[in-house]
Structure 1
Amino acid sequence: MVFKKKRRWHALSGQPLSEMDKRIMALENKGKLVPTRDLIKTDEQIAGIRRSGVVNTGVLDEVEKHICAGMTTLEIDKICYDYCTGHGATPACLNYEGFPKSVCTSINEVVCHGIPKEEDVLQEGDIVNVDFTTILDGYYADASRMFIIGKTTPEKEQLVRVAKECLEIGAEAAKPYCFVGDIGHAIQKHADKYHYGIVRDLCGHGVGLKFHEEPEVLHYGHRGTGMVLVPGMVFTIEPMVNMGTWQVFVDADDKYGWEVITGDELPSAQWEHTFLMTEHGVEILTR
């Protein structure tokens, strides 16, 4: 018995093939991984994600106004919750698969998913990632920023800068009908110049109608691999850049099982935007 592989892309019933249909189907016929049609957002959905992105950016702007040495990460959580809910939205992280707070606050060697706590007090020289996801009218937007508390070491300053460059370089590599692997290859190439490790256990992702959608956006890899990126897709790029090894572990002292630590306990930095793929490249929907 011969089994035919199920196609991921189908033309709309009763409608002629568009140029996008033809291009995607040709790539699929060559064995490339293409998106399903539901990953291509409508104009209405994009408008909703864009509105969610405005609130999400506002949350991080509000954190930037107040973050300082002596502040607890629990205070950051309150700032985020109050701003988000005050603008008619919901924090996506709150109670997501047992995550107990509204935002992830990851300090120094914490790579991601740091849980806000009263006992986590920001100190002069810390670097901290604040990662927030907003749900507004059912639409999701996701971003994170790095903050340097006061004056830090040149090594940490460089790490934060290079992590942001990795995000920007990854975005430049994201072109319509290119591949997710093109993004990862560009990011890894830049990080390798500094002998930094790119975390492999976590990745960017599709977003918009759900918190996590296809595709997985790896931040390392090879050109021409992974899913084809098509206009109308919405996804995050969020490279986690470690000063040392790319390897990580989950903190055994975290009763929730969320906090991810660098394998050698050297610092890590991460920046994240939500992007819309257009006919001309990516548009940033969150900052």
Structure 2
Amino acid sequence: MIFGPRIELKTPAELQVMHRAGQLTRQVLAAARSAAVPGATTAEVAAAAEHVIVAAGARSNFKGYQGFPAVVCISVNEEIVHGIPGPRTLEAGDLVSIDGGAIVEGFHGDSALTMIVGGDDAGSAADRELSAATEQAMWAGIASFAIGTRVSDIGDAIDDFVTERFPHLGLVEEFTGHGIGTAMHMAPEVLNYRARSNGPKIKAGMCLAIEPMLTRGGGETVTLDDDWTAVTADGSRASHWEHSVARHVDGVWVLTAEDGGAAGLSPFGITPVPPAG
């Protein structure tokens, strides 16, 4: 991804629109998750997500983006990200990452989750651990955004969390988080690992998509011939979690979470605060 130099800072009124876009995005993912049952095709899962966007009178920010053909990415098992929905039939125990978004009044939402088809009990303990670790790493990054001073603090927090708690899992460095607002991908780039650069300062009005990806093997990736689907080089399973998050004058608010991030941030001693409306 290529990010421009300008970091877009939102006004309180714009953050309210961002929140609406985030909540629609949450509903899109919820519909896709409900549709991702044993026997369903990934195209059928995408159709359920698209129905929510159309019914809301909104627009997809995925479909047509650089030619991507669907409103969500659906990545199965060893697929890390950018999986194209199609005729593949889901089976109980498959590990599926769903990444999607929506545009409301010109502002974007973006979020991702990982699930086990057929419910957690249908999957392996290793897959349950992988998904939980990725989700917790995301919250570690969000907590750092809430209290940190530079965007690089987020990658430091994710890297430290994985290294200390789950050293046997692979941390994907090829794909990163990003700024979000009047475009889906904007400056700044949000790394998921510790780097030498300090990154830009965190400022009120900044909105970021924070999205770590972990694997049960190494962090190396390969892109398939469709020029979209990224898979693990070693064939290990992968997980992807993402939220769009706003930092404002009064605190932090997770735009794509139903509770604003209260449950996820509670272990870090952080209480999210909705932006003033």
TM-score by length of 1: 0.82
CA separation in 1, counterparts of 2:174 and 2:186?
Answer: 17
Q: How does 1:127-206 map to 2 (within 5 A)?
A: 127-150=95-118, 151-175=122-146, 178-192=149-163, 193-194=165-166, 195-206=168-179
Q: Which of 204, 212, 233 matches 2:185?
A: 212
The residue aligned with 2:35 is 66
Unaligned 5+ segments in structure 2 are 258-277
2:174 maps to a residue whose letter is D
Q: Which of 252, 260, 279 matches 2:249?
A: 279
Q: How does 1:26-37 map to 2 (within 5 A)?
A: 36=6
**After superposition, what is the alpha-carbon deviation per residue over 1:264-284, rounded to whole angstroms, capped at 9, x for unaligned?**
110110110000012354210
CA separation in 2, counterparts of 1:250 and 1:222?
Answer: 24
Structure ID, larger Rg:
1
1:86 maps to a residue whose letter is A
- Describe the SS at the equivalent of 2:146: coil
Off by >6 Å, runs of 4+ in structure 1: none
The residue aligned with 1:92 is 61
- Describe the SS at the equivalent of 1:105: strand
Compute the displacement of 1:110 (Å). Answer: 0.5
Corresponding residue pairs, total = 248
TM-score by length of 2: 0.85
Q: Is contact 1:90-1:134 (8 Å) kept? A: yes
Unaligned 5+ segments in structure 1 are 1-34
Q: Is contact 2:8-2:181 (8 Å) kept? A: no
Q: Is contact 1:176-1:231 (8 Å) kept? A: no
The residue aligned with 1:123 is 91
**After superposition, what is the alpha-carbon deviation per residue over 1:140-187, rounded to whole angstroms, capped at 9, x for unaligned?**
010011111121111111000100100111111113561122111111
CA separation in 2, counterparts of 1:223 and 1:275?
Answer: 24
CA separation in 2, counterparts of 1:106 and 1:236?
Answer: 18
Q: How does 1:37-52 map to 2 (within 5 A)?
A: 39-52=8-21
The residue aligned with 2:232 is 262
- Describe the SS at the equivalent of 1:227: coil
- Describe the SS at the equivalent of 1:68: coil
Which moved further from structure 2: 259-268 or 183-192?
183-192
CA separation in 2, counterparts of 1:224 and 1:231?
Answer: 21
% identity of equivalent residues: 31
Q: For residues 223 and 186 of structure 1, do their structure 2 counterparts lie closer, same or farther at Cα, with a shift above 3 Å needed? A: farther
